[in-house]
Amino acid sequence: MSQRRIKITLIGAGSIVFTRNLLGDIFSYPELAACEVALHDIDAHRLGLAEMVARRLAAALGVTPTITAHLDRRSALADARFVISTIQVGGYKPATVTDFEIPKKFGLEQTIGDTLGIGGIMRGLRTIPVQLAMLKDMEEVCAPGAVHLNYVNPMAMITWALNQASTRIPTVGLCHSVQHTAHELAQDLGIPAHEIDYRCAGINHMAFYTKFEHKGVDLYPRLRQIHAEGKAPGWNRVRYEMLHQLGHFPTESSEHFSEYVPWFIKKGRADILEQYNIPLDEYPGRCQIFEHAWPYIERELQTPGSQDAQAMLAELHAAGIQVMPRMLEDSVRLLEGLNAIQPSVEYGGQIIHSMVSGQPRVVYGNVRNQGLIDNLPQGCAVEVPCLVDSNGVQPTRVGALPIQLAALMRTNVNVQELVVAAILQEKREHVYHAAMLDPHTAAVLDLAQIRAMVDELLLAHRDFLPDFLQA
């Protein structure tokens, strides 16, 4: 395959940070330097900015890809060998705001709401039909052997649904929680991250390190010591508690993990929130930051070096946004990093390069459980080590996980399965079942409240849902 014929399509290219990171990685590989990149978004203005970013990256790296921008999805997908999804159906407003505000009326509070819980359920119901339609387009117009790399949450629900619905287009779900967490723990331990040898497996946002070593020495005793001495970072207390209780460290952040289980966010228990430093409404807070930061970001994209990160930070503080301080710091790093070209931790570019060049790599991917993890349901979406080379993404068998970890994961898999069934079987009743079995929702609300909340959410989201879910 010639370089010019390698076409990579980004669906949701208006997600500027993802677009910058992924294309920066892709353009840095000589084998991909002359590829074709097709950008798609439904927002013409954001699409134009994404094209600007792509062309600036190519010029800075001295490469000559063919870059095109498309408002029409099928034209963007035509002849694509690789398709990367980074969409958010319904956006922050109105969809995400609705996901938080209606449950809050019933006394159900959330932190992120994009993976599990009632927020994750609703996001799955909005997103899976859109991606099923995209998969149909891919089957009809993409190049033979096309691969879909999905970055969209709820990752496990989407990966499960798409791989169950299509046998022609494989979907590999990609996340950065495994490698991010390894780097965070390396900092806690004072060890260079590249020297740590780990193995991880489970489901997306609830995988656990079954091996975590430095030069052949098990690092778990040192991590347990950090917890025992009360030295865990304040923002990471939930996960260190999970290490203490379950014997293994989970991959997703503490604010994420706290809403996948029934133990941390309880009505009238502010003491638990304080003890574990759990920030309610964390994701809406991030979105507020991005809304305030976006004018700075857009001006910096148009005129590099024109914006002052400290001025933006002062404006964010003045706006009185009540979120974790490190999220404000992240906004500054985002602005300052717009013009920096450095490798990201994302797997997308690595997978494409390995499949094109044949260079073998190991990544962590979300794939269909076909004999990979024995004590999780067959067919569900699991996150496991995968070998990638010219033969594609090849998941490795893990076997059985520690029984307590698999048992906890199955409480989440139950919810995922019901959301997938609701969409693929067109059964509205399964939406109620999913909410009833969600660990966090069930720990706070009774059955009547759950049904009433689901009804109100389905009605509020009617513009983004298929007909059979219309209230």
**Residues of the binding site:** 153, 175, 205
State the Cα angle at 70 between 68 and 73, rounded to 5°.
130
CA torsion sign for 349, 168, 406, 409 is positive
- Spatial distance between the Cα atoms of 128 and 123, rounded to a whole number of angstroms: 8
DSSP annotation string for 397-412: --BPPPHHHHHHHHHH
Taking each helix axis from N to C terminus, what angle separates 429-437 and 117-141, rounded to the nearest 10 degrees? 130
- Spatial distance between the Cα atoms of 7 and 168, rounded to a whole number of angstroms: 18
- Exposure class string for 198-221: b at 16+ Cβ within 10 A, else e: bebbbbbbbbbbbebebeeeebee
Interstrand relation of 206-214 and 217-218 (parallel, antiparallel or unpaired): antiparallel
CA nearest to 40, candidates 171, 130, 161, 164: 130
**Residues of the binding site for Mn(2+):** 175, 205
Both structure tokens of 214: 């430095």
CA nearest to 134, candidates 84, 196, 185: 84
Task: Decide: 175 and 204 in contact? Cβ < 8 Å.
Answer: yes
Taking each helix axis from N to C terminus, what angle separates 155-165 and 117-141, rounded to the nearest 10 degrees? 40
CA torsion sign for 199, 29, 37, 88 is positive
Taking each helix axis from N to C terminus, what angle separates 117-141 and 403-424, rounded to the nearest 10 degrees? 60
- Spatial distance between the Cα atoms of 345 and 88, rounded to a whole number of angstroms: 21
Amino acid at 102: I
Q: What 3-state class would DSSP assign to 107?
A: coil
**Residues of the binding site for substrate:** 153
CA nearest to 277, candidates 232, 310, 314: 232
Q: How many CB atoms lie within 10 A of CB 439?
A: 18
Let me know if 440 is a catalytic residue: no
CA nearest to 160, candidates 417, 404, 364: 417
- Spatial distance between the Cα atoms of 238 and 250, rounded to a whole number of angstroms: 10
User: Catalytic: which of 176, 183, 214, 292?
Assistant: 176
Cα dihedral 122, 126, 132, 135 in deg (nearest 10): -110
- Which positions are annotated as active-site residues? 176
